[in-house]
Structure 1
Amino acid sequence: MGKNSIRAIAFILRCSGAATVGYDLASALGLHEALWAAMSAVIVSQEHLHETRSSLLGRILGTLLGIGVTVGVSEVASRLAASTTLQMVVSVGICALMVREFPKLRVAMWTCPIILLTAQPSAPIVLVALRRGSEVLLGAMVGWVFHWGAEVVVDALESRVLNLRQHHASQHMHGRYRGRHCNQHHKAE
């Protein structure tokens, strides 16, 4: 099995595993919208570990920014009896302004609608934001852990395959040398 095949299989397994474990873990913890954990686990999963690490950092900081902006806007807007639509316009607009300068925080812009559109009138917006943020951050961490674990396994497999190939090549070369040595010995007799 080649290096590309091992990496392709690892990518498929870690993405599907991270989504499933993210969802199951969020459900087991009683988080109401566990689908955001599954989505987040897949969203942070990139081809290379350093890309996943960068995606994870952006996901965490962007989610926190989106939570802060949405809660702040909602608190002010609720006193003014502003609609959810207006709250979304303002909160996404503020986040978009920040994302123009810091593109890795892009998740902040969709954190606002996630919070606002899953809010219930009976629950304080802070509680809703903390729940959605928990689901997203849990999924992101699960995605990163799965990628890190997959890298450990893939590196070990690649090392094993390389060692086997080197051993096989060494045995093959040793056999050729032995064969030449025996032929030279027979010619001398």
Structure 2
Amino acid sequence: MQLAIAVLVSYLASAALGLPESLWAVMSALIVMRPTAGSTLGAGWERMRGTLAGTLFGLGGVWLHHIGVATPLATLGIVALLALSSARFPAMRSAPITALIVLSSGGMAGQPALRVALLRVMEIAIGVATGLAISLIGLASHARARFDTACAAMLRHIAGEMQRDLGTELPAPQQKEAAAAALRLALRELALLAVSADREARLLRRPGSSRSNDGECARTARLIARIAQDAALFTRLVDSAPLARDDAAWRALALAAGRALETTADSMESEVSPDLNALRRFCAQGAPGDTAQSAAARSPIPWVAPAARLLMEDLAGLARLRAAANATA
């Protein structure tokens, strides 16, 4: 729906201004449109930078043509140079297309090349502005809410994978590899959504408000990536520790860590505090002065306790970060 509205609005705006090729505004809106305002702004800014660079190089190609350089040679050389630069600078991805448009349209309706280039920049600017405006006012523009939901889903996913790995049955190697690949992909998507949410928060921030929360979503995404690493460490421990997979210690860890992850996921979607008490008690087993536990209950501690403490510290850090964000919201 947002794409359809952006297409109509960009075309009508370009036509109302009397621009000769309104479809270039439509194309720009389609290129930059994203599900969130933050990601649309990033795509729009990159599109504009690439367009300006392509325009300048295109005009340079027109000048070369006027001083006698063969037109195909100048065109191919400039486009190839910009294509090569786009591999190093992603913002230049639209520059080769823009340069090619300028170089191939110098004779449009008898218009000089400079005027054609300026008209193209205006059309692209209309498309970019339309895409950003539609994304800002659209129902899917709340990147922070989507980010919090994605964080909660990720934490629940980590809990499920950890409980499976600590189960009595040894997962197949192919299953473990597929799960690890899916987790890496999900973490990358979460990091991209965090960038969009932070950029959108800066866009919508009220003048004079505190900037202490700048980058808060990116920090949250990094913490969740660390939590995933903490949970993955249990898989290696259960494979190397001198304990059977059906030992009560692993079941206790699965229950304690699972409870901590699940309640932390709940806290990402509401104001409730996570429950880390069970995991904290598990980490306390085998600590100096702990003589109440039996030798059987303390047996996994030399291998498990440090990893469990890492998980608990990262979950506690995530809870503090969340509380600070809510306090200053």
TM-score normalised by L of structure 1: 0.69
Q: Distance in 1 between matches of 2:27 and 2:40?
A: 14
Aligned to 2:99: 112
Higher helix share: 1
User: Is the CA contact 1:115–1:129 (under 8 Å) kept in the aligned structure 2?
Assistant: yes
Pick one of 66, 77, 87 that aligns with 1:90. 77
**How many pairs are equivalent?**
142
Distance in structure 1 (CA, Å) of the matches to 2:126 and 2:115: 16
1:71 correspondence with 2:69? no
Structure 2 residue runs of 5 or longer lacking an equivalent are: 146-329
Structure 2 residue corresponding to 1:29, chosen from 11, 17, 42? 17
> Is 1:59 aligned with 2:39?
no
Give distance in 1, aligned partners of 2:49 and 2:37.
18
Equivalent-residue separation in structure 2 for 1:30 and 1:97 (angstroms): 35
- The share of aligned pairs that are identical, in percent, is 30
Q: Which runs of 4+ in 1 moved over 3 A?
A: none
Give the Å deviation of 1:28: 1.1
Q: Is the 1:73–1:90 contact (alpha carbons within 8 Å) kept by the matching residues of 2? A: no
CA drift of 1:32 comes to: 0.8
CA distance in structure 2 between the partners assigned to 1:14 and 1:87 by the alignment? 39
**Is there any run of 5+ residues in structure 1 with no aligned partner, and where?**
1-12, 159-189
Q: Is the 8 A contact 1:64 1:108 kept in 2?
A: yes
- CA distance in 2 between counterparts of 1:50 and 1:154 reads 8
Query: Whose relative contact order is higher, 1 or 2, with alpha carbons under 8 Å and at least 6 apart?
Result: 1
Q: Deviations over 1:123-166 (max 9, x none)?
A: 22111111111111211111111111115x765xx8xxxxxxxx
Q: Secondary structure at the match of 2:47?
A: helix
Tell me how far 1:117 sits from its aligned partner: 2.4
TM alignment of 1:28-177, pairs within 5 A: 28-80=16-68, 82-83=70-71, 85-120=72-107, 122-151=110-139, 155=142
CA distance in 2 between counterparts of 1:103 and 1:133 reads: 19
Q: CA deviation at 1:97?
A: 2.9
The answer (yes or no) to whether the contact 1:44–1:52 under 8 Å persists in 2 is: yes
Counterparts of 2:37 and 2:141, CA distance in 1: 12
